[in-house]
Structure 1
Amino acid sequence: MAKKDLTNDHVLDDQEQAVEKSLRPQTLSQYIGQTKIKHELQVYIQAAQKRQEALDHVLLYGPPGLGKTTLALVIAHELGVNLRSTTGPSIDKAGDLVAILSELQPGDVLFIDEVHRLPKNIEEILYSAMEDFFIDIVVGQGAEAHAIHYPLPPFTLIGATTQAGQLSSPLRSRFGIIEHLTYYNTTELTQIIQRSATVLNVTITLEGAHELARRSRGTPRVANRLLKRVRDFAQVAGRQEIDAPLVSSSLQQLQVDSAGLDQTDRKLLQMMIQLYHGGPVGLKTMAVNIGEEQETVEAVYEPYLLQQGFLKRTSRGRMVTSKAYQHLGLPVPDQNGAK
């Protein structure tokens, strides 16, 4: 059975799913990066266990690929409970939610990815489930309609989102623990790549891991994906070891540049410069011009470009910075727009 990976828009077969699972850490001590979040979660988990209570509901937000799903799995493992996983868009009827919640045991974790995309009617049913551990649903129609009170065991809801701003205030307020995952630094990514290389039975030098980390957009998912692709180049070339020159030549063929920008990133920046003189440009216009969904541009491409200083937001829209012009090898316009 295959599942859809919405972020990378490809289908993972069973073998690849097994590889992806093996790359995920199982405990907080194995989880590299996000040090502040790990420390806080360790305290919250230990306190909940000492009180013999379910952990407070947890909201994890940040750009894609930073480990929100992995962290949910780690939390469940640290708590010693089962994890049930689903996505916001897949719960479109009250019966779907009831079926999921009815399978939970006391203390279990329910992980909802893309929690900001929960339908409004489902979100409203979820309020009482999160706060008081019960749901009231109406069954039947007309004169035969009646409410059913359905008690639930105490459980922990972990919601993950790339767009925390789209969460309604009532839903957000019901999360007792709110954590913002940030981009990883090169040292952390180097450690992640070295660990993944061991899992994949690949030999990579420290310099090779560092070069790959430097161009992985601050994102473990990207680092692991690029590591697997560089492994392919190494295998075809008959190389027993991945070093920095091999990483550089492989990423050049993959069109990943020295700053970790890929073809779409550069296309976005060049479009804004060539068609709109660097901006300001609205998000919808940006998406249409590069043939991507607006949500994809906002959640996948824009955060890294903003974080690296290639884009900036203004009240009138997004603008390309002088750093982006310099990176693309283009003359920087003066304040009057002249080059």
Structure 2
Amino acid sequence: MSRERDLVSPDAEGDERAIEAALRPKRLSEFIGQTRVREQLSLVLESALRRGRPPDHVLMSGSPGLGKTTLAMIIATELGVPLRLTSGPALERAGDLAAILSTLTEGEVLLIDEIHRMSRPAEEMLYLAMEDFRVDVVVGKGPGATAIPLEVAPFTLVGATTRAGLLPAPLRDRFGFVAHMDFYDPAELEQVLHRSARLLGVKLPDDAAHEIARRSRGTPRIANRLLRRVRDFAEVRAGGTITKEIASAALNLYEVDAEGLDRLDRAVLEALLVKFGGGPVGLSTLAVAVGEEPETVEVVAEPFLVRQGLLVRTPRGRVATAAAWAHMGLTPPPDALGAASPSPTLFDEP
């Protein structure tokens, strides 16, 4: 994966997680955006504190980088209890989950990231733990196997997922509060950037914050990453002063354009428009044209292009919209698919 793609990737890896930790809000009142989720969660937590009992289990879904892990940490902080973190892929066996559940203290918050990727045995054990705060540990094999019930301290499970549709209904129904995290609008991202700039000791004018926000793909994680790259550019080439022009020059250098598209996004659009006349074209053919794997194009580039109204997926293949032609500075043909009123026969496949 190229460095340009790393810059606008919603995932965080390696050292970036440590940097993110320093920028995370610690309280619900400090959390920016997700107004409805924040208000609903506030009521859930306040009610639990007044009753002196752990709140209902919480499920949060949405794209990476929107604040699911941050909210889980805030839940634990607001309740004044410890937070235990794990992930679905790490729970390969029921015993892995049992080892965690058996050591939880009363009221503790357990975050399972990418909960839809849990193994089936661990998932089935979790059902009983969520409802009855009990797990059955199987000892032995075959006809002589014995299930030993093990009490679990009352806890609150926070499940985070980027693929809510992959969660089995029995698991989804056991969550008392379900929240979907939406993408941020530029005004909200500007607030995020101003807060992060203060923590980083960076002076960020409003127009520069707006320039960064509009290129951040609606994702706070990407906004903070672009802010750090703009800061680096300003320190090396502009005496540490950030202006709108400096921010624009920095992001242009990193190949993030005014709408947040990077090199791969533009390569997909260019191939679709110039080589295939706007489509329809199959995914595999399009991937070969840009020199990437089909999965990379489908998972990494397409979701943002579709969300921006630049590309639609149809039963016959990928089709560029009139907005895509305009974005690439090309004249659309008369029959180009209009982004505002797409043809019902060409729009997303069932």
- C-alpha spacing 1:262/1:178, structure 2 compared with 1 (3 Å): same
With structure 2 as the length reference, what TM-score do the two structures score?
0.86
d(CA) in 2 for partners of 1:149, 1:234 = 61
- C-alpha spacing 1:272/1:151, structure 2 compared with 1 (3 Å): farther
1:11 — aligned with what?
14
d(CA) in 2 for partners of 1:137, 1:100 = 13
What does the per-residue CA deviation read over 1:155-193, in whole Å, with 9 as the maximum and x for residues that have no partner?
111111111111111111111111111111111111111
1:198 — aligned with what?
198
Contact map agreement 1:112 1:158 (CA 8 A) in 2: yes
d(CA) in 1 for partners of 2:311, 2:27 = 36
Contact map agreement 2:109 2:157 (CA 8 A) in 1: yes
d(CA) in 2 for partners of 1:166, 1:153 = 28
- What is the CA distance between 1:42 and its match in structure 2? 0.5
1:291 — aligned with what?
292
Contact map agreement 2:95 2:122 (CA 8 A) in 1: no
1:304 — aligned with what?
304
Q: What value does the CA root-mean-square deviation take over the aligned residues?
A: 2.4
Contact map agreement 1:34 1:182 (CA 8 A) in 2: yes
- C-alpha spacing 1:279/1:90, structure 2 compared with 1 (3 Å): farther
Counterparts of 1:201-220 in structure 2, within 5 Å, are: 201-220=201-220
- What is the CA distance between 1:297 and its match in structure 2? 5.3
Structure 1: give runs of 5+ residues left out of the alignment. 1-5
Counterparts of 1:1-339 in structure 2, within 5 Å, are: 8=11, 10-12=13-15, 17-274=17-274, 276-280=276-280, 291-292=292-293, 294=295, 300-316=300-316, 318-335=318-335
- What is the CA distance between 1:47 and its match in structure 2? 0.8
d(CA) in 1 for partners of 2:299, 2:57 = 24
Structure 2: give runs of 5+ residues left out of the alignment. 1-8, 338-350
- C-alpha spacing 1:177/1:336, structure 2 compared with 1 (3 Å): closer
What does the per-residue CA deviation read over 1:281-302, in whole Å, with 9 as the maximum and x for residues that have no partner?
56677667653573x6566543
- C-alpha spacing 1:336/1:270, structure 2 compared with 1 (3 Å): closer
User: In structure 2, what residue type is equivalent to 1:158?
Assistant: V
What does the per-residue CA deviation read over 1:219-246, in whole Å, with 9 as the maximum and x for residues that have no partner?
1000000011111111111423211000
User: In structure 2, what residue type is equivalent to 1:267?
Assistant: A
- What is the CA distance between 1:67 and its match in structure 2? 0.8
Contact map agreement 2:272 2:286 (CA 8 A) in 1: yes
What does the per-residue CA deviation read over 1:36-80, in whole Å, with 9 as the maximum and x for residues that have no partner?
110000001111111222111111111111111111111111111
User: In structure 2, what residue type is equivalent to 1:105?
Assistant: T
- C-alpha spacing 1:222/1:9, structure 2 compared with 1 (3 Å): closer
d(CA) in 2 for partners of 1:190, 1:36 = 19
User: In structure 1, what residue type is equivalent to 2:97?
Assistant: L
Greater shift after overlay, 159-168 or 138-147? 138-147
- What is the CA distance between 1:207 and its match in structure 2? 1.0
User: In structure 2, what residue type is equivalent to 1:130?
Assistant: M
d(CA) in 1 for partners of 2:291, 2:132 = 46
Contact map agreement 1:109 1:158 (CA 8 A) in 2: yes
Contact map agreement 2:61 2:179 (CA 8 A) in 1: yes
Contact map agreement 1:216 1:223 (CA 8 A) in 2: yes
Contact map agreement 2:54 2:156 (CA 8 A) in 1: yes
d(CA) in 2 for partners of 1:273, 1:224 = 32
- What is the CA distance between 1:8 and its match in structure 2? 4.2
Contact map agreement 1:45 1:79 (CA 8 A) in 2: yes
- C-alpha spacing 1:272/1:156, structure 2 compared with 1 (3 Å): farther
d(CA) in 2 for partners of 1:287, 1:125 = 41
What does the per-residue CA deviation read over 1:123-174, in whole Å, with 9 as the maximum and x for residues that have no partner?
1111111122111132222344211211111111111111111111111111
- C-alpha spacing 1:325/1:28, structure 2 compared with 1 (3 Å): same
d(CA) in 1 for partners of 2:258, 2:132 = 51
Contact map agreement 2:11 2:65 (CA 8 A) in 1: no
d(CA) in 1 for partners of 2:264, 2:209 = 24
Structure 2 residue matching 1:29: 3-state secondary structure? helix
Contact map agreement 1:64 1:299 (CA 8 A) in 2: no
- C-alpha spacing 1:137/1:331, structure 2 compared with 1 (3 Å): farther
With structure 1 as the length reference, what TM-score do the two structures score?
0.89
